[in-house]
Amino acid sequence: MGEIDLVCWNGDTLVFVEVRFRRKGALVQAGVSLTGKKLCRLRGSISAYMASKGLPMDTPWRLDAVLIDGERMELVENIIG
Enumerate residues 6+ apart whose C-beta is below 8 A from 6. Answer: 15, 16, 17, 19
In order of 26, 39, 62, the CA distances from 79 in angstroms are: 23, 9, 8
Residue-wise pLDDT for 1-47, tens only, equals 678 999 999 999 999 999 998 887 777 787 888 888 999 999 999 99
The pLDDT of residue 60 is: 97
The pLDDT of residue 31 is: 82
User: Using an 8 Å Cβ cutoff, are 45 and 51 in contact?
Assistant: no
